[in-house]
Amino acid sequence: MMGLMDISQTTSVLVVFIITFLVVWLWRRREKPKYNMPRKQFWIPFSELLGSFADTDSLLKKIGGNQPITRFQNGFTGPENFLLTTYKGIHEAFIKNGHLLTGRPTKFFWTEWNTHHDTGVVHGIFNSWGDLWKQQRRFALMTLRDFGLGKTSISEMIQEEIGYLVDEFQKFEGKAVDPRNLLMPAISNVTNSLVFGERFQYDDPKFQQIMKNMMDQFKYFLLAQNAVVYPFLRYIPGDPFKLHYTFKHMGISRKFLQERIQKHMAEYDPDNIQCFTDAYIKALKAEKDKEGTYFTEFQLLTTVEELFFAGMDTTVATLRWALLLLILYPDLQKKVHDELDSVIGARRVSMEDRASLPYTEATLLEIQRLGCVIPMAGHSNTEDVEMMGYTIPANSNITANFLSVFYDESFWNNPNKFDPTRFLDESGKLGKIPDCLTPFSLGGRVCLGESLAKMELFLFFTNLLQQFSFKIPAGEEKPGLKARIGLLRYPLPFKVEVHRRH
């Protein structure tokens, strides 16, 4: 009896589902004829399925061929989706029409996470848009600049952290280690110092626990994203799409950050502004009685959260690609070592040395090209946009596919080859960096932490390479260059064998 009930229930759900789908599909076909759009090319039924095919990477590299814009379906309803696959197309969208493309896609688990329960307004900087985004982005940029972004004070703080990281690598002399476990706390400490004015000891149990949580929280990002695009999936018992798992872990990180913000609030001293959080609290107090102010405690929390998430995994993933490529190409690692030895010698490498290290700089650029840690950036248009001969309706999702550009044969000779010399001229000097290499994106929503990230990448990379050589651990299989696409584009886990050079 029970079994029969189950079958009839399942059938009813299926019938309702199919009818809804057909009605929505027909309605959408009728709705849009006034728009001159490219024909729909494909449908992403479940992004996790796409993500779990080993070859998503190759697919993204090739998708669209030479077509600058591809239209696709993601979800049954909701906005139109477009993928931009050439540099010309991305430039036309993000630069020429950039002022109209400052929105963010709404069906995104992070947008949902940053939506205020009472007002329905999306907060933060990465996830927000409109006047809130403009004002809060400007404030964050100015404040980070005041704290020395691009100046000596931040580079000194990074140098101090590198000192601790070198000690950690030293502990693995002659042994194999997964570099992610050491890089995560180091890079997190740079953000900690900037945002909260303090760093943690690597062996602090609370810090270790929160690092582990942060590493885990985006593990099922693609799977969870399905339950945002198809909301009914989140109600299936057992959380098979891991949305509740993801939010639970994000909640643990949020609580940790919230506690630290509360501590800064309690100890606030207007004459002693030491970090981003203090500066924000100052602005919060100044704006307290203003009608409709965007300076709120929730905005502070979401911004701090984003500074951690946007700045940490990206930098760590790039440095992991760096170590992976250098253990796979020891001859190129030696060239970096040789340049560092002849130009720097035993003293610490500083930002002022950049211009004298063209080969090292070219290697870092090539790592960012091949690693392409943010393969796609999703924007949304606030009004209808005319571009590439089409009319794109307002509130569409317009995603730049940087991966296809970074591996585009018409720009890069033999794009799969790790070849830093492509950035050097005949005399070995760094040439003009091609416009199409945009690891930090382009236009009005370009990465807010670009200068900090460049500083971190240069200082961590050069100082680690100056002190250590890295190789494939004895007895271990040679790792490949296959990427895993999740929130970012990561290398598969690998270990390095560490050797002190001096």
Q: Applying CB under 6 A, which residues contact ligand HEM?
A: 125-126, 137, 306-307, 310-311, 314-315, 318, 373-374, 377, 439-441, 445-449, 452-453, 457
**Rounded to the nearest whole angstrom, what is the least distance from the CB of residue 84 to ligand HEM in the complex?**
11
Would you say 462 or 469 has its CB closer to ligand HEM?
462
Would you say 307 or 336 has its CB closer to ligand HEM?
307
Please state the separation of Cα 382 from the chain's center in Å: 23
**Rounded to the nearest whole angstrom, what is the least distance from the CB of residue 439 to ligand HEM in the complex?**
5
**Rounded to the nearest whole angstrom, what is the least distance from the CB of residue 140 to ligand HEM in the complex?**
7
Instruction: State how far the Cα of 238 lies from the Cα of 235, in Å rounded to an integer.
Output: 9
CB neighbour list of residue 476: distance below 8 Å, 6 or more residues apart:
176, 495
* Residue whose C-alpha is closest to residue 219's, from 242, 237, 239: 242
**Rounded to the nearest whole angstrom, what is the least distance from the CB of residue 367 to ligand HEM in the complex?**
10
Would you say 77 or 106 has its CB closer to ligand HEM?
106
Q: What is the DSSP letter of 482?
A: -
78: left (phi over 0), alpha (psi -120 to 50) or beta: left
Characterize 188-203 residue by residue with b for buried, 16 or more Cβ atoms within 10 angstroms of its Cβ, and e for exposed. Answer: bbbbbbbbbbebbebe
**Residue number, nearest CB to ligand HEM:** 449
| Positive/negative CA dihedral, 212, 213, 218, 219 | positive
Would you say 447 or 459 has its CB closer to ligand HEM?
447
The Cα angle at residue 40 between residues 34 and 44, in degrees rounded to 5? 130
**Rounded to the nearest whole angstrom, what is the least distance from the CB of residue 315 to ligand HEM in the complex?**
4
**Rounded to the nearest whole angstrom, what is the least distance from the CB of residue 19 to ligand HEM in the complex?**
37
Amino acid (1-letter code) at residue 194: L
Would you say 77 or 159 has its CB closer to ligand HEM?
159
Instruction: Give the phi and the psi of residue 229 in degrees, each rounded to 5.
Output: -70, -40
Per the CB < 8 A criterion, the answer to whether 403 and 415 are in contact is no
Torsion of CA 467, 431, 447, 278, to 10 degrees: 50
Report, in angstroms and rounded to the nearest whole number, the Rg of the chain calculated over CA atoms: 24
Instruction: State how far the Cα of 133 lies from the Cα of 120, in Å rounded to an integer.
Output: 15
Would you say 128 or 469 has its CB closer to ligand HEM?
128
Would you say 242 or 445 has its CB closer to ligand HEM?
445
CB-CB neighbours of 463 under 10 Å: 21
**Rounded to the nearest whole angstrom, what is the least distance from the CB of residue 468 to ligand HEM in the complex?**
21
Beta bridge partners of 489: 485
- The answer to whether the annotation marks 275 as part of a ligand binding site is no
Give the residue numbers of the binding site: 447
Give the residue numbers of the binding site for heme: 447
